[in-house]
A and B are shown apart, each in its own frame.
Chain A
Amino acid sequence: MVPPPLATTLIDAAPIDYLIVALYFAVVLGIGVVARRQVSDSVDFFLSGRSLPAWVTGLAFVSANLGAVEIMGMSANGAQFGLPAVHYFWIGAIPAMLFLGVVMMPFYYGSKVRSVPEFMRRRFGTGAHLVNALSFALAQLLIAGVNLYLLGSIVHALLGWPLWVALIVAAVIVLSYITLGGLSAAIYNEVLQFFVIVAALLPLTLLGLHRVGGWNGLQDKITAAANANPGTIAPAADQLNSWPGTALTGFSSDFLSVVGIVFGLGFVLSFGYWTTNFVEVQRAMATDSISSARKTPIIGAFPKILVPFITILPGMIAAVYVTEIADLKAGQSVPGGASGDGVTYNDALIYLMRDLLPNGLLGLAITGLLAAFMAGMAANISAFNTVLSYDLWQQYVVKDRADDYYLKVGRLATVAATVIAIFTATLAANFSNIMNYLQTLFGFFNAPLFATFILGMFWKRMTATAGWVGLSAGTLSAVLVAFLSEDAFGSLSTGLIPVSGQGASFVAAGAAFVVDIVLSVVVSLVTKPKPAEELRGLVYSETAREDLVDPAEAGYPWYRRTMPLAGIALVVVVALNFAF
Chain B
Amino acid sequence: MASPGRTRTAGLFDIRTIIGGLLGVYGVLLTLMGLFGDAEEEKTGGINANLWAGLVLLVVGVAFVAWARLRPVQVPADAGADDA
Contacts and interface: CB of A to CB of B under 8 A. Distances in A.
B13 A292 contact: no
A58 B83 CA distance: 11
B83 A207 contact: no
Contacts, number: 128
Contacts of B30: 360-361, 364
A56 B2 contact: no
A24 interface: yes
Interface in B37-72: 37-40, 43-45, 47, 49-50, 52-54, 57, 60
A55 B71 CA distance: 15
A49 B5 CA distance: 12
B78 to A, nearest CB: 7
A195 B57 CA distance: 10
Name the residue among A112, A195, A295 with the largest chain B CB count within 10 angstroms: A195
A195 B23 CA distance: 8
| Most chain A CB within a 10 A radius of its CB, from B29, B43, B53, B57 | B53
B29 A43 contact: no
Given A51-B7, A210-B45, A358 B40 contact: yes
Nearest to B12: A38
B47 A19 contact: no
Contacts of A355: 43
A575 interface: no
Interface in A271-329: 288, 292, 295, 299
Contacts of B54: 360
B83 A211 contact: no
B33 A16 contact: yes
Contact of B37 (A16, A43, A292): A16
Given A203-B53, A358-B40, A23 B83 contact: no
Interface in B1-23: 1-2, 6-7, 9-10, 12-13, 15, 18-19, 21-23
B2 A31 contact: no
A35 to B, nearest CB: 7
A203 B49 contact: yes
Nearest to A212: B45
A34 interface: yes
Given A20-B29, A199-B26, A210-B45, 13 more contacts: A43-B2, A44-B6, A49-B7, A54-B84, A56-B15, A192-B22, A203-B52, A211-B44, A360-B37, A360-B50, A364-B53, A556-B80, A560-B83
Contacts of A199: 23, 26, 53, 57
A49 B78 contact: no
A381 interface: no
Contact of B13 (A24, A31, A44, A58): A31
Nearest to B37: A360
Contact of B83 (A50, A53, A192, A210): A53
A492 B53 CA distance: 50
Contact of B43 (A20, A191, A356): A356
A448 to B, nearest CB: 33
Nearest to B9: A38
A359 B15 contact: no
14 contacts: A16-B29, A20-B26, A20-B29, A38-B12, A44-B6, A51-B2, A54-B83, A112-B1, A188-B15, A195-B22, A211-B45, A292-B83, A357-B44, A560-B83
A203 B82 CA distance: 29
B49 A361 contact: yes
A256 interface: no
A40 interface: yes
Contacts of B21: 27
A552 interface: yes
Contacts of A37: 12
